[in-house]
Structure 1
């Protein structure tokens, strides 16, 4: 199932804002990470109806992906 593109854009902005607050990142840094993340690709491609998950859940998924990226870069 695919979501309305306008609704997806609003969803993205809420998730990015939540993620930025959680991680203490600027909105620009959070935006950049989001659009290069696996989470974004899953939502965009409609995999497992990820767009139906709560904003907080998706922000937590981003947090996990971000933590993994930080660990792997060391």
Structure 2
């Protein structure tokens, strides 16, 4: 399912703002994390209706991705 592009852009902004708050990142860092994430790819491509998930759920998904990436880099 494809979301309305304007609503999707607003969703992205809310998710990035919440990621800044919860992860203590700068907006630049949060944007980098978001736009290079699997979560963003799923939302952008309309897969699994990820855009319908709550902002908090999506941020937790991003935090999990960040944690997995840092564990991978520490190996």
Please give the TM-score of this superposition, normalised by the length of structure 2: 0.95
**Distance in 2 of aligned mates of 1:25 and 1:43:** 21
Match of 1:73 in 2: 73
Match of 1:26 in 2: 26
In structure 1, list runs of 5 or more residues that go unmatched.
Answer: none
In structure 2, list runs of 5 or more residues that go unmatched.
Answer: none
| SS across alignment from 2:3 | coil
Please give the TM-score of this superposition, normalised by the length of structure 1: 0.96
